Amino acid sequence: MSGTVITVTSGKGGVGKTTTTANIAAALAADGAKVVCIDADIGLRNLDVVLGLENRIVYDIVHVVEGAAKLKQAMIRDKRLPHLFLIPAAQTRDKSAVAPSDMIRICDELRAEFDYIMLDSPAGIERGFRNALAPSNRVVIVTNPEVSAVRDADRIIGLVESEQKGPPSLIINRIKPEMVKRGDMLSIDDVLDVLAIDLIGVVPEDEQIVIGSNRGNPVALDEKSRSGQAFRNIARRIKGEQVPFMDLDKQDGFFSRLGKLIRPGG
Amino acid sequence: MAVSVTIKGIKEGLLVVVGDGEWEEASRTLLEKLREKADFFRGARLVLQLGGRAMGAADLGKLRDDLGDLQINLWTVLSESALTENAARALGLETALPKPQALPPELPPISPSEDGSVAILVNHTLRSGKSVRFPGHVIVVGDINAGAEVVAGGNVIVWGRVRGTVQAGSEGDAEAVVCALDLAPTQLRIANAIATSPKRRGKADPEMARIKDGQIVAERWKPNEKG
Ligand SMILES: Nc1ncnc2c1ncn2[C@@H]1O[C@H](COP(=O)(O)OP(=O)(O)OP(=O)(O)O)[C@@H](O)[C@H]1O
Ligand SMILES: [Mg+2]
């Protein structure tokens, strides 16, 4: 088995990288894949909270890098999904405690055992971002339909391309169809027009995401949740399935039209 | 493991030769050496000789920023690795020292007034954060996204959309022009004149911007009129 390393990154902070990492990982694992998430945001860890595994941390990635723990010892198994694991970040260290070469070594070891290794990148273009990019096989850019987030995503895409890790794919998070309709928010077409990369998901604004994150229950595991459905669709697209884009606003033909625009049936 | 880092003065600026070994270590050693004589090196421009080392834009960019903190300008990266060269170019750095002659001797000399003058072709979209600077003309086949910039001594010709910052005639040539299929820059400069784009409604037309009576004006391109 040789797993795929997926890096989730954005440039701008707070757009939903950690939420996206947790939910795609949960959806993939619920579907039977073996998945490990790595929190590459050293010093500001929170993937453990979103996955509800905070109180089970004994060792973290810095322990592994420094040889104080074996990789296996730092892997926390999810309480709901036996195929899902987390390697947490250290909360009390800074980013210089891990180097890109460490991440490459760790991911090489994990590829043998897992189908997907999901890396949650910190914001910015500094060391933490480079750590998350170095071992990557596939880069997923998360953005919000806002001018500043799109501008930073564009910058990151340029960096990913010049590292020859591209082409990345795009997730647009926190879209509000009624605001788009009023012309108060960038539309999906507006964002794609600038970034010109492949879209693999659109996630609506949903307060259940905040509630789920606070409780450590990713919405992707809630069968009834619309945003959860969006994350499950992304997971299936990552596995190579053709999944039509959801109609986020039933009255409006906008999103169904989008499905046709992007790629037929995709 | 120690990595050899030597610094010496050459005609073009400071030449830094980095030996094999961990990049982390090499960059740390280099920055330490420069910090020791920070006053002496301040304002210098630096030529980095990297041999066959493969490096990405992120590492080079980090070094450039760290050097910038010391007010040292990373100017040229000399490398035998295509990856490193690409990364350097992506960051807008030079990848060769200037030749004594502008053109290789095999080419017949051109007469600027009759045959044209020197230009570079950028064959892709410039994304946010990218910068292209060239003393001659710059031709871009692709877009100039918001957050990217092009600075040319001569004209800027874009087969695509302009959303970023563009400067033509940067050495003061008021005859320079900027042409694009869709011209809506964040800021446009020609020689000493500055303009921003008015908000446009409707479809974009190919336009050419130039200085008229001291002001930048953009005119729609019409097939039968020659500029
Ligand atoms: N689609 C959504 N609807 C509503 N809230 C959301 C959505 N996506 C993310 N959020 C909320 O936005 C906040 C930021 O999300 P998250 O922590 O995932 O971002 P991040 O990109 O990882 O941030 P950082 O750059 O700090 O690591 C969280 O409170 C999260 O619950
Ligand atoms: Mg995060």
Q: Domain residue spans in chain B?
A: 5-90, 119-220
Of B57, B61, B147, the CB nearest to A154: B147
| The token pair that represents A128 in the structure block | 């933490």
- pLDDT given at position A253: 41
**Distance, first Cα to last Cα, chain A:** 27
- Do the beta carbons of residue A53 and residue A86 sit within 8 Å? yes
Nearest CA in chain A to B65: A126
- This prediction has a pTM of 0.74
At residue A125, φ and ψ (nearest 5 deg) are -125, 25
Is the sign of the CA dihedral A24, A30, A33, A35 positive or negative? positive
For residue A44, which of A88, A104, A106 has the smallest C-alpha distance?
A88
Spell out the per-residue pLDDT of chain A, length 266, in tens.
689 999 999 989 999 999 999 999 999 999 999 999 999 999 899 999 999 999 999 999 999 999 999 999 999 999 999 999 999 999 888 878 899 999 999 999 999 999 999 999 999 998 899 999 999 999 999 999 999 999 999 999 999 998 888 799 999 999 999 999 999 999 999 999 999 999 999 999 999 999 999 999 999 999 999 999 999 999 999 999 999 998 876 534 444 445 444 443 33
Helix axes A226-238, A17-30, angle to 10 degrees: 70
Distances from the Cα of A153 to the Cα of A22, A100, B80, B127, B217, angstroms:
20, 21, 31, 10, 32
- pLDDT given at position A254: 45
Q: Provide the β-strand partners of residue B77.
A: B48
Cβ under 8 Å to B: A residues 88-127: 99, 101, 125-127
| The token pair that represents B62 in the structure block | 């980090």
- Tell me if chain A has a CB within 8 Å of the CB of B19: no
For B119-220, the fitting CATH number among 3.40.50.1820, 1.20.1630.10, 3.40.50.2000, 2.160.20.70 is 2.160.20.70
Task: DSSP letter for B92, please.
Answer: T
- pLDDT given at position B44: 85
Query: Is there a contact between B59 and A130 if contact means CB atoms under 8 Å apart?
Result: yes
| The token pair that represents A223 in the structure block | 């069968």
Query: Is there a contact between B125 and A196 if contact means CB atoms under 8 Å apart?
Result: yes
SS3 A105: helix
A 10 A CB-CB count for A263 gives: 12
- Tell me if chain A has a CB within 8 Å of the CB of B62: yes
Fold of A4-238: Rossmann fold (3.40.50)
Nearest residue (by CA) to ligand 1, atom 9, is: A16
What residues contact residue A42 under an 8 Å CB cut-off, 6+ apart? A61, A62, A89, A90, A93, A94, A95, A97, A98, A122, A128, A131
- pLDDT given at position B97: 86
Side by side, the strands of the sheet bearing A35-39 are A76-77, A84-87, A35-39, A116-120, A4-9, A138-143, A169-175, A198-204
Spell out the per-residue pLDDT of chain B, length 227, in tens.
688 999 888 888 889 999 888 999 999 999 999 998 888 888 888 999 998 899 998 899 899 989 988 888 899 999 988 899 999 988 888 898 887 655 445 656 666 666 668 899 999 999 999 999 999 999 999 999 999 999 999 999 999 999 999 999 999 999 999 999 999 999 999 999 999 877 666 788 899 999 999 999 999 987 765 54
Nearest residue (by CA) to ligand 1, atom 26, is: A14
Query: Is there a contact between A163 and B128 if contact means CB atoms under 8 Å apart?
Result: no
Query: Can you tell me which atom of ligand 1 is nearest the CA of A19?
Result: 18
- Tell me if chain A has a CB within 8 Å of the CB of B25: no
- pLDDT given at position B91: 87
Give the distance (Å) from ligand 1 centre to CA of residue A212. Answer: 11
Alpha carbon of residue B208 to chain centroid: 22
Rounded CA-CA distance A208/B137 in Å is 54
- pLDDT given at position A1: 60
- Do the beta carbons of residue B60 and residue B77 sit within 8 Å? yes
Q: Which residues of B touch A126 (CB under 8 A)?
A: 62
A 10 A CB-CB count for B18 gives: 20
- For A215-254, write each residue's pLDDT tens digit: 999 999 999 999 999 999 999 999 999 999 988 765 344 4
Distances from the Cα of B180 to the Cα of A164, B23, B45, angstroms:
29, 41, 34
- Do the beta carbons of residue B160 and residue B148 sit within 8 Å? no
Query: Is there a contact between B146 and A154 if contact means CB atoms under 8 Å apart?
Result: yes
Top CATH class of B5-90 equals alpha beta
What residues contact residue B103 under an 8 Å CB cut-off, 6+ apart? B109, B118
Place of tokens 């094999």: B20
